[in-house]
Amino acid sequence: MVAKLKGEYGSGIEPLTYLGQNYMVVDRSLIPELLQVLRNEEQFDYCVDITAVHYPKREKQFDVLWVLYSFARNERIRVKTQIGEGETIPSSVPIWATANWLEREVFDMFGIKFDGHPDMKRILLPDGWKGHPLRKDYGILQQDNEWVQINLGIESGQ
Amino acid sequence: MHDLILYIQSYLDSDRTPGGAGNVFWATVYILLVFGGLSVAVIAMNWLERKILAHMQVRLGPMRVGPHGLLQPIADAIKLLLKEDIIPAEADKLVFWIAPFIVVLAAFTVFVVVPFGPTHAITDMNIGILFMLGVSSLSVLGIVTAGWASNSHYPLIGALRSSAQMVSYEVAMGLAVLSVILMTSLNATGTGTLSMIGIVQAQLTQGEWFIFKFFPLGLIGFFIFAIAMVAETNRAPFDLPEAESELTAGFHTEYSGFRWSLFFLAEYSAMIAVSSIAVTLWLGGWLRPFPNWLSGDRWDLVFSLFPGITFVLLALMCFYNTARMPKHPLFKIQTIGLAGFGAVLGLIGLLLFWTPVRVRVTDIFWFAAKVAGFMYLYIWYRGTFPRYRFDQLMKVGWKILLPMGLALLILTAGMGMRTELWAQLQGVWRGQ
Amino acid sequence: MNPPVATPFFFYLLAGTMIIGGILVITRKNAVHSAMALITTLLAQAALYLMLYAPFVAGVQIILYAGGIMVLFLFVIMLINLERNMKERQFNRQWLVGIATAAALGGLFIAVYTATTRGKVLFPEGRMSYVEADNTQKIAGLLFDRGMGQYMFAFEIASLLLLVAIIGAVVMAKKRI
Amino acid sequence: MSGYRSIWGSRAGNDHCNDPPEIPRLADEGARLRDDADKKASPGGLGTDGIRMTDPNTLSPLDLETPDKTFLDANELIINMGPQHPATHGVLRVILRLDGEKVMGLECVIGYLHRGVEKIAENRTYTMFNPYVDRMDYVAAVSNGLGYCEAVEKLLNVGAPARAQYIRVILTELNRIASHQLWLGTHALDIGAITPLFYTFRDREEILKIFEKYCGARLTTHAFRIGGLQYEAYEGFEREVKNFLTFFTPKIDEYEELLTTNRIWLERTKGVGTISGPDAIALGVTGPVLRASGVKWDIRKAQPYANYKNFEFEVPTGQNGDTYDRYLVRIAEMRQSCRIIEQAVAGVPEGPIMAKVPKVMKPPVGEIYHSIEAPKGELGYFIVSDGSTQPYRIRVRPPSFVNLQALEVMCRGQLVADVIAVIGTLDIVLGEVDR
């Protein structure tokens, strides 16, 4: 499968294996098409998880990951791409309905916007919150004190 | 003094109810007795429900306040009275204030006609059963207005549910009641009665409780009523108006303290009221069980000993549990309390063996025992059944109970007139 | 032995309750308050029936009007738009006509009473000696008895009318059956 | 029902759901899901097991007919359920859009219990983070711990010794039973049956006693360590587990007696909250909810972890994907867990309980995704290591969070009472949803 995809998309895809787990690093531009192909042709019909990792020192700061599973092949695969600060990425809600909340959580935690998502807003943090906590530059004790003061009426949440 | 005793005696041996005799003083005494007894019954019911339900659910229930939690209902009552009485700011204050009183008034007023014995009723109305059904149906007004006046989502949904539910089940209930009224007319004169005392006396003269009449028609009628009455009192599995998992507490979500306790009081007295209707209509009211099989003076005597025996047994149970109490100084007061309670019960039991008391109390005892059976059923339902969904509840009411009730009414009428119908049929056949 | 309950005191009390209740029904802006007043009126009316030694009619009045119909009234009132009613003008200009009609009707009643009692007293003296105990049976007799039942047909026609109304309501509420 | 809004709209002025929130529409999704379902008429299966698909045309909850508009349903009622509500199992807030009592749409508002577990992980060493995972799905803390420990072990490339594996399986399966018991009790309570709650809690107590005796804690156990176990099984552990099995197996029948054939229970659960297999897969639903929809997929079988491949057990599935099937599947899973425990207790080998792991763990640079079959579904840990003592990023794939997403699809067109039943049947733990 990987070879076929590699043949099709060329240098945009870099298939890798670590500790027996397959994943591929994919160019940002190939993402929408590749996910569609994986879903429809390679039977990866179950989107396990969508998440992101923040590397503040890199030029393209974020890794966005899709963990996919195929019931038919009993196989997992991870698709990984890199995007920069402020860049958006096409939403996969039309491909997997489950992506809805998962993408919202990525947005909430990292501030990565997904184009075409039906309801791109925060999910775990309150709507008016400032900052995206899972970024590396967001301190562990940091809070949106302004929000806390306005909404909870206390000086600080600490 | 002697005159006074004679005066009292004349009422104790009277063959009429105080209302029937038109004696305002004795009617007042009876009203106080009935309502006092009712309040005690509700308190006892509160404790019993918690205890019985607890034992069904492998727990102990109230154990702290008094021996075996006997004083728990009193503690609760005090707590409720002392609690802050909150009226929501956006509520319709007048209606919010009135609603619980409507419910309590309706629930208590029905007891005017409940016959605890041939003369032990406040009054015997000519339209007794109609009065009971009518007045108990007024309590839904209180529930609806309570839900509306709270001006909140959950109470309103609860109120809408309860009004739809009670109106629906009243129909089936009424049909079941009608079949009994048809049965009362099976006598020489051919006229039935709506009077509660009259209905029991009809069962006495016909020598048969109406639950066994025209088997299985009486039984079916009883079952329709038994289902409808649970729905009518908003109890599990029909407790949708106050379904705590959906509507937090339904129509009384916004009520607290004293007003809430009024709803509580009304619910339990309504349960007792509808149970007394069922007992009166189908289970022979105050009549003792097995009147035909175990008949005769000797058996009458044996059965009249039951009240005393029951109380003595309860007292013995108390003493047994007193003996099982932990022998620790901390439990001293509790042990003494339980023993004292047992002693009181035992004394009451002994008093009930005394002939003048025994004769006058037997009726009340059997009536109360039958009602208590229903109360146990209520608790049992609650411990066993999940809750119906609203559309299913309506389906049961309109699509199952109502057609059954109609068929039952027609069949009962047919059975009652079977000789006439048969004669007419024969006439038609011969005429041809 | 049996002291009469139907004393003038009770009559005036109930009649007063009814009139006050009736006035409240049409003057309250809040429809739920109106409904509560109407319930009071209906209950007072049931009590008046009791005073007339017609307990069956009184019972039916409670069970049907106060217990059944008013519950449905309240049910509907809760669903309609109360806010608009509160803002709307409550009376239109026909109130003059209404008062005139009411006055004329009242005058007619008084005229008939005084004419029939020849100006002596408004109320008949003494009371009728109906037996309370068989009131229900009497009504049943009037309706269904083979010999003296006169109102069977009218009764059945009324029930047919209700049936038609029920079917009409179902058809109107539910387009597809 | 018109007029609801008018009453609420102005008179309930300070109610916080005064402004109708925007409720996301799944309509276009629905059309797509149905297309998929049609396309996948005969989907591939897992070898011989296969996926038993339900007929998507009859069971998809997404193709609801729109009711005829009458003068009564001009307006809809927006009602707010939670975060303080007796039946939302914690601090879940659900905003319901009702037509009468019929649910036209709903939106979940979550995050009231958000504690930033993933952020905490980045500031703790691998060992220090271990107790935190117990606080996510606090009902199934042992399963959480198993998933985390195995993920880190994989990253370190060490394996727990055989004895540790067996004890882990025993404790995890006990925990699965405990979790299902808690679910059953609360679910039944939501539907109005109050008694099962006390029965299940009585029996869950026995499991908690074993946990307590083993590691000193009852709820958040922190039972496992990276590389194996810290504590040797206590004296009489195997005997007590066996005793528990003989005690517990008849109790399952007791639960079933109360509910399985109860008419009201059947009416309340059959055909309620139905979700078809394809819909469930598309929505990423896992665990008993997925299996009840006819998809025979259990990670313990599909991609065995720990030593589950040593044990014989079946994967129970349902057919209709309704609340009743989910109930049956979970009941059957309790029996299967008993089976696994029975085999495991019989075969616990002697030997060490801890593998050789360094005191200061520094996994090589790399990333790993490891998932286990938690009582609620697929619980996954995605760990990125940068070679230091602290994980660079830990992502937890929470089953409750993803399953909760299916709530809207399952509830649309049902009644308010069914929403309660469906929230119960999804078996969510808010600690895990919000993390």
Q: How do residues D260-295 score in pLDDT, each as one tens digit?
A: 888 888 888 888 888 888 888 888 888 898 888 888
User: Which residue is closest to B95 within chain C, CA to CA?
Assistant: C33
**D192/B383 CB distance under 8 A:** no
> B371-393 b/e with 16+ CB inside 10 Å = b?
bbebbeebbeebbbbbbbbbebb
ipTM: 0.76
In chain D, what residues touch B391 (CB-CB under 8 Å)? 415
Lowest mean pLDDT among A82-91, B366-375, D170-179: A82-91
pLDDT value of position A124: 86
Please give the average per-residue pLDDT across C63-87, as a whole number: 73
Is B88 contained in some domain? yes
pLDDT level of residue D28 (50, 70, 90 thresholds): very low
Place of tokens 């005429």: B431
CB-based contact (8 Å) between C146 and chain D?
no
**B382/D199 CB distance under 8 A:** no
pLDDT value of position D64: 36
Please give the average per-residue pLDDT across A46-68, as a whole number: 87
Pair (D345, D239) in one structural domain: yes
**A71/D393 CB distance under 8 A:** no
Interchain touch C–A (≥3 Cβ pairs closer than 8 Å): no
Pair (D380, D363) in one structural domain: yes
Pair (D387, D241) in one structural domain: yes
Q: How do residues C11-31 score in pLDDT, each as one tens digit?
A: 888 889 999 999 888 888 777
**How many CB pairs below 8 Å do chains B and D form together?**
95
Pair (D332, D210) in one structural domain: yes
Q: How do residues D320-371 score in pLDDT, each as one tens digit?
A: 888 888 899 999 999 999 989 988 888 888 888 888 888 888 888 888 888 8
CA distance D44 to A43: 9
Is B69 contained in some domain? no
Structure tokens at D144: 């959480």
pLDDT value of position C127: 54
Flag whether pLDDT at D23 surpasses 50.
no
Q: Which CATH code for domain C1-87?
A: 1.20.120.1200
CA distance A98 to D285: 8
Structure tokens at C23: 């006035």
Between the alpha carbon of residue A77 and those of residues A47, A68, C134, D151, the distances in Å are 10, 5, 88, 16
List all residues of chain B from 44 to 103 with a beta carbon under 8 Å from chain D. 53, 56-59, 89-90
pLDDT value of position C90: 60
In chain B, what residues touch D188 (CB-CB under 8 Å)? 386
How much of chain D, in percent, has pLDDT values that exceed 70?
82
pLDDT value of position D27: 37
C68 vs B130, B167, B191: nearest CB: B167
pLDDT value of position B28: 84
Is B181 contained in some domain? yes
> A40-50 b/e with 16+ CB inside 10 Å = b?
eebbbbbbbbb
In chain C, what residues touch B196 (CB-CB under 8 Å)? none
Flag whether pLDDT at D60 surpasses 50.
no
**B160/C78 CB distance under 8 A:** yes
Interchain touch B–A (≥3 Cβ pairs closer than 8 Å): no
pLDDT value of position B244: 66
Which of the residues in chain B have pLDDT under 70? 12-13, 19-22, 243-246, 248, 432
pLDDT value of position A144: 76
Q: In Å, how far is D144's CA from the nearest CA of chain C?
A: 50
Pair (D90, D191) in one structural domain: no
Question: For the sheet containing A62-70, what is the strand order?
Answer: A13-18, A21-26, A75-83, A62-70, A46-54
Is D179 contained in some domain? yes
Is D51 contained in some domain? no
List all residues of chain D from 188 to 207 with a beta carbon under 8 Å from chain B. 188-195, 197-199, 202
Pair (D97, D127) in one structural domain: no
**A53/D384 CB distance under 8 A:** yes
Flag whether pLDDT at C169 surpasses 90.
no
Lowest mean pLDDT among A5-14, A128-137, B396-405: A5-14
For residue D207, what is the DSSP state? Answer: H
pLDDT value of position D54: 32
In chain C, what residues touch B21 (CB-CB under 8 Å)? 1
C3 vs B22, B141, B166: nearest CB: B22
Please give the average per-residue pLDDT across D61-66, as a whole number: 37
Pair (D18, D142) in one structural domain: no
For residue C69, what is the DSSP state? Answer: I
Using CB atoms, list chains with 3+ pairs below 8 Å to chain A. D
pLDDT level of residue D53 (50, 70, 90 thresholds): very low
Q: Which of C80, C81, C171 to mutate to test the interface with D (most CBs of D within 10 A)?
A: C81
Place of tokens 């975060």: D83
C59 vs B22, B130, B170: nearest CB: B130
Residue type (1 letter), D156? L
**D3/C80 CB distance under 8 A:** yes
| Residue that finishes a domain, picked among D109, D126, D148 | D109
Q: Quickly list DSSP for C146-172.
A: TTT---HHHHHHHHHHHHHHHHHHHHH
pLDDT value of position B20: 67
User: Which residue is closest to D100 within chain C, CA to CA?
Assistant: C79
Is D48 contained in some domain? no
Is B321 contained in some domain? no
Place of tokens 């003008």: C89
**D86/B245 CB distance under 8 A:** yes
Using CB atoms, list chains with 3+ pairs below 8 Å to chain D. A, B, C
**How many CB pairs below 8 Å do chains B and C form together?**
86
In chain D, what residues touch C80 (CB-CB under 8 Å)? 2-3
Mean predicted lDDT score pLDDT of chain D: 78
How much of chain C, in percent, has pLDDT values that exceed 90?
11
Structural domain for B284, as ranges? 76-305+353-423
Is D52 contained in some domain? no
pLDDT: which is higher, D42 or B418: B418
Q: How do residues D247-260 score in pLDDT, each as one tens digit?
A: 998 888 888 888 88
User: Which residue is closest to C172 within chain D, CA to CA?
Assistant: D70
CB-based contact (8 Å) between B381 and chain D?
no
Strands (E) in B350-406, as ranges, are none
Pair (D313, D166) in one structural domain: yes
pLDDT level of residue D43 (50, 70, 90 thresholds): very low
Q: Which of A17, A19, A75 to mutate to test the interface with D (most CBs of D within 10 A)?
A: A19
Structural domain for D33, as ranges? 2-40
Pair (D30, D69) in one structural domain: no
Q: What is the CA radius of gyration of chain B?
A: 24
Is B344 contained in some domain? no
pLDDT value of position C91: 60
In chain C, what residues touch D68 (CB-CB under 8 Å)? 175-176
Is D88 contained in some domain? yes
C74 vs B134, B144, B170: nearest CB: B144
Polymer length of chain B = 432
CA dihedral C8, C13, C16, C18 (to 10 degrees): -110
CA distance D91 to D201: 22
Flag whether pLDDT at D67 surpasses 80.
no
**D111/A123 CB distance under 8 A:** yes
Q: Which of B389, B390, B395, B399 to mutate to test the interface with D (most CBs of D within 10 A)?
A: B389
How much of chain A, in percent, has pLDDT values that exceed 90?
0
User: Which residue is closest to D11 within chain C, CA to CA?
Assistant: C83
CA distance B264 to B100: 10
CB-based contact (8 Å) between C137 and chain B?
yes
Is B56 contained in some domain? no
Is B6 contained in some domain? no
Q: Count up the domains in chain D and report the number.
A: 3
CA dihedral D295, D298, D302, D307 (to 10 degrees): -160
Flag whether pLDDT at D3 surpasses 60.
no
Using CB atoms, list chains with 3+ pairs below 8 Å to chain C. B, D
Is B166 contained in some domain? yes
**B134/C67 CB distance under 8 A:** yes
pLDDT value of position C121: 57
Instruction: Look up the pTM and report it.
Output: 0.79
CA distance D397 to D393: 13
pLDDT value of position C165: 92
CA distance B11 to B18: 8
Query: What are the sequence ranges of the domains in chain C?
Result: 1-87, 134-177
Please give the average per-residue pLDDT across D374-398, as a whole number: 88
Please give the average per-residue pLDDT across A42-56, as a whole number: 86
Please give the average per-residue pLDDT across A95-121, as a whole number: 85
Nearest Cα residue to D396 out of D369, D428, D362, D367 = D369
Q: Count up the domains in chain B and report the number.
A: 1
pLDDT level of residue D16 (50, 70, 90 thresholds): very low
Q: How do residues C79-134 score in pLDDT, each as one tens digit?
A: 665 555 556 666 667 778 888 998 999 999 888 877 766 655 555 555 555 555 67
Highest mean pLDDT among C61-75, C84-98, D368-382: D368-382
B126 vs C71, C72, C135: nearest CB: C135
Q: In Å, how far is B103's CA from the nearest CA of chain C?
A: 12
